[in-house]
Each structure stands twice: as structure tokens, then as C-alpha cells.
Structure 1
Amino acid sequence: MQKFSTFFWGLVVVGGIFLSQLTTGCANIVPPQGGPRDTLPPRLIKVIPADSSTRVNARTIQLFFDEYIEIQQGQDNLIVSPIPAIAPVIESKLRDLTLKLKDSLLPNTTYSIEFGNTVKDFTEGNIAKGLRYVFSTGTYLDSLELSGSVVVAETGRVDSTLIVILHKDATDSALIKSRPFYLSKLDKNGRFRFRNLPPDRFFIYALKDEGGTRRFTKPSQLMAFADEPVFTNRQNDSLVLLAFAAEKEAGTVADPVTDRSKPKTEADKRIRYQTNLSNNQQDILEPLLLLFDSPLQRWDKSAIRLFSDSLYTPIDSIRIVEDSTKKILRIETPWLEGNRYHLVLTKGAFSDSSGKTLTKTDTLHFSTKKKTDYGKLKVRLRGLDLNKKPVLQWTQNERVIRSATLTTTEFTDELFAPGDYQLRILYDANGNGRWDTGQFFVVRRQPEKVQALDKKISIKPGWSNEYEIDVNDR
């Protein structure tokens, strides 16, 4: 009995040791606890084939780091140039990264691989930024560069989500049908840089890469082009591309739905509209707007009457204008400050495309603002070229609130609506007072340029607000 007990407990001990070893061998990688936080990105210690190698024909590249790594959005972050027809496969295991090139390598060609934000450490997510690998299938490495910047023409600002691509094909259709040869992303300042290029001629474009196709797909897509091809063995540092959309993105318009299951009530037939009045106050610098949900089919000027003061004195000097969408009526008149007004809309004054009409007479009562509700503004612009037909624009959230064509380098206004504004300058090539987009297909025309000024101004009511701005300050 004693021998059996000894044997039994011996088995328990051995089994415990075996299970301990087994669970240890199957454990996950756990970062060490305690100590200072790791703030350093993974460091590349070795590459096979070596960086900047020539006569390379291997299609598997191995990178070894000094710590455990993981990859994020590998296909989105990785840029292989020249761009292969088949995307490479990227894998990571512990401290190693393997890149498998699935497409055939071109002869006598320099390849570059930019990893972007692909590689980060396992513990803290520190990104190995600026990681780049170059090799050549020929006997030497190409070393030419091409750099420049891209701005959105209408705003003068940067959209860092745009990409810049190089094509060898001169035809317009290449932008739609063909894969580009080289690609570069923009930095936060809108700058791009191609490196290790061969001596050659290219056609350069910028695109909003929608769907990851690296192609032009629709007229509302942001794009830019250079008027002339670029040659990599020439100086091109001043290259600036102006991005534009040939057409605005169309909104989704629902067809009116008619419910025939029951007769329409009076409310169903009544046309709906809004105004631009704020707290029942009218801006004396702006027209009164009537805003409709559906395009107007008919409106009667004689049924829209404006009166002033408590005596309902008729105002005949009004102008009513329908906008191009037929959804806005502008009522213009020389508004008197601090005055009481009444807008009378007679029954049947207008009807819209869905068959709705004004089923009864409406009267809008409102007052105009006083001059003390506005501020005085003086802006002096140093370094402004008046030969370029500049138009000064005041914007809020990239929407133009007001604009003024400049014939001198100083703008003055005794009545300016209070608020915070960004300033920009439109160089109005055709002199029509508004920004005009560009065109690429059929007729090539660059968009008009807008320069964003890095200056915010704040207009306070009842104050004299003066600003001096150097337009060449960046």
C-alpha cells in the first residue's frame, strides 16, 4: 500500500510539471509589465536583399526589426513604384516582415517601396515612419527627383488625401483606363516628392483617389493637371497643381410621392417656405430670401407686396429675382435701418413643381438692423498684384459670405456684418467676380486660383476694425 501511494503521488508531480511546461509553451506573447513606457518606433536592423541593391531578381523581401511588430492597413499604406499590376502580399511574424511581389519585375528598373504607417511596434503602437526600401533590377539605381505642391483651387487650401500620379501615356483616356507608373502622397502642407526616378518624360496629375482605383472616375472628382509634360532631368521645384472638380457633386433628390389612398387635406396642399430672417431681423446689407423645398413652377410678382411702418406704407422700389434652382426668391430694396416692415404674400402668389400652392394669404412682420449693429472695417493688403484682378473674399467654414473686387490695395466699409472671418483672394482671370472651375477633357483649361490668407479677422459691432496683411506671408 505504501509503494502504491508513493507511485501515485510521483505521477501527480510529473503530470503537474508536464502540464506546466505545456501551458508555458502555448502562452501568448505578453509585453513586460512595469518600467518606463516605450516611445521608440521599431528600428530596422537588416533587409534581404540589402537596401540599394542592384541586379535584384528576387520577389521576396525580408525586413528584420529590433522588436515585435505588427502591420496596419498594409495595402493602403504601402506604395510600390513603379506600380505593379498585382498588389504585393505583406505579412509579419514576431520581429520580421515579409513582402512578396506577385507581379513580374521590369528589367533595368529602379523600384522603391514606401511603407508609410504600415509598421508599428507590438506593445505601444509606435509607427516606424519614413521607412523606405530601394533596389534595382539593373546595374545602377536611378536617382532623379520630382517635387511640388497641390492646392485646392477654389479654397486655396490643402487636401492631404489627394494623390499625385505620373503617366507615360499622353492621351486623356490614360487617366481613366490606365494604371499610373508612379504615385506619391501629399504631406500635411500639400507637398509631394518622387524619388529614384529615371530620366524620362511624364504627365503629372493629382486625384482624389475614390475607391482606391488611382483613376479618374467622375466629373465631380477632384483632379489637377499640368499644362505641359514634366521631364525628370530638368528643374521642376516650382511645380504647383491646382485641384478642381469640373462639376459639383449632385445631391440625391427624391421624387415627390403622391398618396392616393385618401384625399389631401388643406395642409397637404400648402406650399412650405423659410426665410433668412434672424430673430425676425433683416440684414440691411442683404436681400430678404424666401427658400422653398421644391422648385417653383409659377410665381406672381404682383401678389408679393412690401410695406413699411405701422401705417403699411407701400414700397414700390422692390426687385424680385428667382435663382437658377427655382427654389429661392430674392427680395431686394434699399432697406432703412431700424425700420418696421411687412411682407404680404397673397393667396396663390406661387406654386411649386409638386402642385402645392399658397392656400391663404401670409404676412411676415420684421424689423431691420441698426447701423450700430455693424462694425467699420479697413483692410490694407501689402504685396497685392492688382494686374491679376484680385477679389477679396470673406469666408466662414469655407463658404463665401462676402466678396469685393479690388481696384486698390485698401478696402474700406462703414457697415460690415460682425463675426469671425477667414480671408482669401480670388485671382479673377475673366473678371466675372466669381470663381470658375477648370476643364480637362476636350478643352483643357486651368481653374482660377484662390490664395488663402493665414489671417483670421474678427469684426465687432460698433467698433472700427483695422487690419494690415502681407499677402506673401505664408
Structure 2
Amino acid sequence: MKIKTGLLFLLSCSLSVVCIFGPTGCANIVAPLGGPKDTIPPVLVSAIPKDSAKKFTGNKIILTFNEYIDGKDLRNELLVSPVPKIDPLIDAKLRTVTIRIKDTLQGSTTYALYFNRGIKDVNEGNILRDFIYVFSTGDTIDRAELSGTILVANTGRPDSTLVAMLHDKFDDSAVVKNRPRYIAKCDSLGHFTFRFVKPGTYALYGMKDEGGSHKYLSKAQLFAFADSPVVVGSRSKPETLYAYVEGYDTVKKAGTTGGGTTRPPAAPRKTNKESDRRLQVGINAPGNSFDVLDTFRITFSSGLKVFDSTQLRFTDEGYHDIDAKKYHYERDTTGKIVTLFYVWPTGTKFHLVLPRTFGQDSLGRKLLKDDTLSFTTKKDIDYGEIRIRVGNLDMSRHPVLQFVSGDKIKYTYTFDARRQVRRLLFAPGDYELRVLYDVNRNMIWDHGSFFGKNKKQPEKVVTIMKKFTVKPNWDNDKDITL
């Protein structure tokens, strides 16, 4: 047994030597097996010049880490503050990250290089989060800070693609013409922090930084501004900004009895000469079932040149005419949609009789013969009842409650004197609940305005419940405290 054991030991050693020194170099290729997964981010081993160096006069910084660095995101992640006119060049090779400064450094100034999520190892992609390298061209390191939050005004949500900016010039055009003095990225909660700032007074902005220009170039950009200059010192109070898009196409308000705007259904495909000569008509009642919370719309494949509503017959199930004083029609500007306004009961059948001569489009197309559109309104049990009360709501700010589904505002309601919204019929589904502080009481969110004498902040929206489920044939009650 001892001889066999010795032979096995020698054989094992021989194989190890061949693997290490043999021509295939297998020891350099085969990774070790087993062991725990590497979850430790890279560690800075050395910095030239050293971190927090003073009287910096060079144009190159060399950072060395304890493992190989994946540098593909470095350019996008690196922020330099104060913001240079010319961005530095940055390169990663093996364990070394080299930054070459192309701009002329300002005297007696503290510079901070924010790498954010840019430093990560090659093997596992472990990120050295929020790594900062600092140096000063003067005798001291500035250490004033300012923190805050940027929220998107019409949703109340954060946006991690936004950046906060400090300008040392206070005219409005500076945000268009000049790069900011300092810049900071927002995190997933919308929080930002300026560090290593020279104490002083600054104009504070936030924006979606299109193309990395650090400038407000379009009204289609998300943009936010502080009402007055901020003082950055040893104890600066946090700031909150609300971003808006001034070119925002305000959505038509959802009716207080439900609805909102929808596009007309696509016109039926033309398959023969007869359909080419026929006016195509449709209604928003899928499966001939109409939602009483919606607005009844008659849609046409092309705009009507002639429309005679007196020829239409709106009847009950037995084809008895509905009292004309209880409903009316309205045409939109395109002539493709006619809206029928009526207080709809549930679980009731109706007919809409269209004579052949009631209307025609600009090409002279009309119905080939009289037509009848029949539909039934949904039943009570298809809806849920809701009561939502926000006990500590500030009614002086004119709040309205928004029901949001799929990022679209489906319904908007005012609160009653008891700070509640109650509806006996409500569409089942999952909703996000938001409160809009409706300054001008027009029931829709209004964007802000920065340029000119009359600056205006956007109206604010706050999410008060991320998921509110309305069940059909059920009392859906909720008490909320802000």
C-alpha cells in the first residue's frame, strides 16, 4: 500500500509539472473550479496623484485596482465637477484606469471625478459603486454639500436619468448657453447630492441631459428649476424640484363620470367595389356591449361632409324613440367622430337607426341602405362600488383624485367635503391612485414655464397608493393617510 501511494503521489506531481510548464500552458487557461462566487467589487490599490491631493498641476491621473477592470461604461458614467469645457479622455487597461485632462484647470478649485457605476471587475461585473476621486488645484479641499430630490411633476415619480445642476450665473439664458458649474446624477429614488462644492450661492436646475450637453436645448426635455438661488454651505437644507416637459401635449381630461379619450376603431378593410362606395360606420361597444362609464362614439372611416342628426333614430329595445330632450349629438373637428351624450342606465338594450341619407363624406360615399346598430349597456354586477377617503388631505390646494392604469389617467374626480371620492359604478381593474394639486381647477395637470417674467412651477402630483384593486360586484373601500 505504501508503494502504491508513493507512485500515485509521484504521478500526480508529474502531471502538475506538465500542466504548468508544458507547451499548452493549461494552467493559464483553466480557471479554478469550485469555491464561492466573487461578489467583492474592485479595490483601489494606488492613485497617482493620491486621492485628495492639493496643488494639483498635472494633466493625468492613474488609478490602479486589485483586479482587471471592465471599462466599457466608464465614458458614460464618469462625471467631472466642476464641469469642464472639454471632457477628459478615460481608458481602462488591465488593472489600471487612466484619465487624461484636456481642459485647462482653474486655480484654487476642487475637482471631483464621480465614476458612479463605471468601475467594475471583468469576471463577475461587481461594481464599485459611487467611487469618487478628488483633487484640488489650490491649498484646500472644498467640502460644502447640497442634497435634494427631483420628481417628475405629472406623475410624482423619480427618474434616474435626470441630473441636477448648479450654475454660478443667474440669468435665464445661462442654462441654455453655458455648462453648469457643478453636476450630480439622480439615483433610482430621484435623490442627488453635490459634494466638494465651493461655498456660495447658485442657481439650481434639473433636467434630462440629452446628448450630454448639460444644456436646456428643447422644450421636449424634462426640466426643473428652483424658484430662487440656493445657498450652499456647511448646513444646506435639502431641495425638491419638480420636472416637467413644457412641450407636453396635455391629455384631454377624463370625465368625472368616467371615460377619457380613445382613438376610433380602425375602419373595416375594403375588399370589393361595393365597400369602396359605402360609408364605413362603427361604435365603441365591443361585442355590442357598452360601458356606461365611457362616452358613446359613432366613428366613420372618413370625415363627414354632410351630417343630419334629425334623421337618426335613438330608440329603446322595443324601437320606441328616446325623448330627444334627454340626449344630444356633437361632431368633432375632423368629422370622423360623432358623440352621443345620454345618461345611460345599466343592463338596457338600445338601437341606433341610421337612414341611408343621414350623411355622406367628401367623396359622396354614404350607406348603401338603412342600417341599425344595436347594443346593450353593461349590468350593475359588471362594476364595483368605490369609496376612497384621504383623512388629512389639504383641501385648500384643490386636490383631485386620479385613477391611473398603464400610465394613462383613466378617471379624475374631485373630493367632496368629507375628503372622499365615492362612485356607485366603477370599472373593475388595478389602478394607481394619485392626487393632483389642481391650482387652476381645470381638472388636468398643467406644466410649468421658466423663461420670461412670469415663471411658473408645474402643478404637483403625489402617488398615494401604488395598487388599488377594484373588484366587480363588490364594495371597494379604502382609507388613506398621507
Band the TM-score falls in, shorter-chain normalisation: 0.7 to 0.9
Name the counterpart of 1:116: 116
Equivalent of 1:335 in 331, 337, 344: 344
- Which amino acid in the other structure matches residue 458 of structure 2? P
Cα distance change of structure 1 residues 286 and 300 upon mapping to structure 2, 3 Å threshold: same
SS in 1 for 2:41: coil
Report deviation, 1:340: 0.9
The answer on whether the counterparts of 1:312 and 1:342 sit within 8 Å (CA) in structure 2 is no
Cα distance change of structure 1 residues 46 and 270 upon mapping to structure 2, 3 Å threshold: farther
Equivalent of 1:301 in 272, 288, 309: 309
**Equivalent-residue separation in structure 2 for 1:39 and 1:135 (angstroms):** 30
Name the counterpart of 1:459: 470
**Equivalent-residue separation in structure 2 for 1:50 and 1:274 (angstroms):** 73
The answer on whether the counterparts of 1:31 and 1:123 sit within 8 Å (CA) in structure 2 is no
**Equivalent-residue separation in structure 2 for 1:248 and 1:205 (angstroms):** 19
Matches within 5 A, 1:96-115: 96-115=96-115
Equivalent of 1:381 in 383, 390, 405: 390
SS in 2 for 1:458: strand
Name the counterpart of 1:419: 429
Does 1:363 pair with 2:372? yes
**Equivalent-residue separation in structure 1 for 2:142 and 2:78 (angstroms):** 20
Report deviation, 1:153: 1.0
SS in 1 for 2:286: coil
SS in 1 for 2:441: coil
Name the counterpart of 2:256: none
Equivalent of 2:449 in 429, 439, 445: 439
The answer on whether the counterparts of 1:308 and 1:315 sit within 8 Å (CA) in structure 2 is no
SS in 1 for 2:75: helix
Matches within 5 A, 1:9-88: 31-88=31-88
- Which amino acid in the other structure matches residue 397 of structure 1? G
The answer on whether the counterparts of 2:69 and 2:120 sit within 8 Å (CA) in structure 1 is yes
Gap regions ≥5 residues in structure 2: 1-17, 251-271
Matches within 5 A, 1:75-474: 75-233=75-233, 236-248=236-248, 265=273, 267-268=275-276, 274-291=282-299, 299-316=307-324, 317-323=326-332, 328-347=337-356, 357-360=365-368, 361-408=370-417, 409-442=419-452, 443-471=454-482
Report deviation, 1:449: 0.7
Report deviation, 1:245: 1.0
State percent identity of aligned pairs. 40
**Equivalent-residue separation in structure 2 for 1:460 and 1:21 (angstroms):** 72
Report deviation, 1:372: 1.9
**Equivalent-residue separation in structure 2 for 1:325 and 1:239 (angstroms):** 46
**Equivalent-residue separation in structure 1 for 2:246 and 2:176 (angstroms):** 15
Cα distance change of structure 1 residues 296 and 94 upon mapping to structure 2, 3 Å threshold: farther
Alpha-carbon RMSD across the aligned residues, in angstroms, is 2.8
The answer on whether the counterparts of 1:144 and 1:197 sit within 8 Å (CA) in structure 2 is yes
**Equivalent-residue separation in structure 2 for 1:378 and 1:181 (angstroms):** 50
- Which amino acid in the other structure matches residue 332 of structure 1? F
Could you report, residue by residue, the CA deviation over 1:444-473 in whole angstroms, capped at 9, with x for unpaired residues? 2111111111342111111111111112xx
